[in-house]
Amino acid sequence: MKVLGIDVGGSGIKGAVVDTKTGELVTERHRIPTPQPAMPSAVAATIKELVEHFDWKGLVGCGFPAAITHGFARTAANIDKSFINTNINDLFSKTIGLEVYCVNDADAAGEAEVCLGEGKGVDGTVILVTIGTGLGTSIFVNGQLVPNTELGHIYLDNGREAELYASDAVRERENLKRKEWAPRFNHYLTTMEALFWPDLFILGGGASKKLDRFADALTVKTPVVAATMLNEAGIVGAAIYAQTEQKRLKELKPLD
């Protein structure tokens, strides 16, 4: 099945049509800068632009940087606070006139990697960390997602909130060389290792492309790999999620 996958990020909104069976992008990826301020109506208008770019008429999956329950955004760390308690499934569906299902962006990336990438068939606990404007996390236990883990917001033993200390945006903002930033990320990963004892860490987001440049600084015993789909995992996973969610909702039996 072909689904338009969209990844809403703090700096860019990206999309491509995805073959959900293979995870391949069947079109070029298209990126539009995230409107600033990233208000709900402005983000919805940008998503509409993307849909028009692809002249898309089918199902849409959208990875979004917030905890999302039943279509409602519940947090807003790197987007406008007015998103909190907005039903973004409804807002985006109405704006573009197509069926849209939204999922946390890191959960989307994790879904793609567990279905088709590095996490496929892994026994035990897999943690995916996306390194971008924020730090996003998704956790899978024997292939089953525990949704909306917001573990980029944990506090480290130096009193710093992980995302405000070790994200890629912080590296850029503080002008840190990758060598200076890497110990910060290692601090985060060792903390996560001690708390969850995972079997595998998968790194996604823009910075995952550069893993070879900071792998030496990582001291965790857990294997660490870059997402097979690198920062396209979010787009692919959003598409897979939409297909699964649409099917799940169709099969839900109405209450008596």
Which residues would be at the binding site for ligand BGC (CB under 6 A)? 65-67, 75, 77-78, 104-106, 130, 132, 134, 136, 150, 152, 163
Smallest separation, CB 78 to ligand BGC (Å)? 5
Nearer to ligand BGC, 8 or 100 (CB): 8
Nearer to ligand BGC, 40 or 152 (CB): 152
Smallest separation, CB 105 to ligand BGC (Å)? 5
Residue with tokens 């015993």: 221
Smallest separation, CB 250 to ligand BGC (Å)? 27
Query: Is the preceding omega at residue 35 within 30 degrees of 0, hence cis?
Result: no
Comparing every residue's Cβ against ligand BGC, the nearest one is: 134
Compute CA 256 distance to the chain's CA centroid, rounded to the nearest angstrom: 37
Smallest separation, CB 115 to ligand BGC (Å)? 18
3 state SS for the chain: CEEEEEEECCCEEEEEEEECCCCEECCCCEEEECCCCCCHHHHHHHHHHHHHHHCCCCCEEEEECCCEECCEECCCCCCCHHHCCCEHHHHHHHHHCCCEEEEEHHHHHHHHHHHHCCCCCCCCEEEEEEECCCEEEEEEECCEEECCCCHHHCECCCCCECHHHHCHHHHHHCCCCHHHHHHHHHHHHHHHHHHHCCCEEEEECHHHHHHHHCHHHCCCCCCEEECCCHHHHHHHHHHHHHHHHHHHHHHCCCCC
Smallest separation, CB 26 to ligand BGC (Å)? 25
Partners of 32 in beta bridges: 13
Nearer to ligand BGC, 56 or 203 (CB): 203
Smallest separation, CB 2 to ligand BGC (Å)? 25
Nearer to ligand BGC, 56 or 207 (CB): 207
Nearer to ligand BGC, 163 or 245 (CB): 163
Nearer to ligand BGC, 75 or 244 (CB): 75
Report d(CA 177, CA 62) in Å as an integer: 32
Smallest separation, CB 243 to ligand BGC (Å)? 21
Q: Residue 69 — φ and ψ, nearest 5°?
A: -125, 130
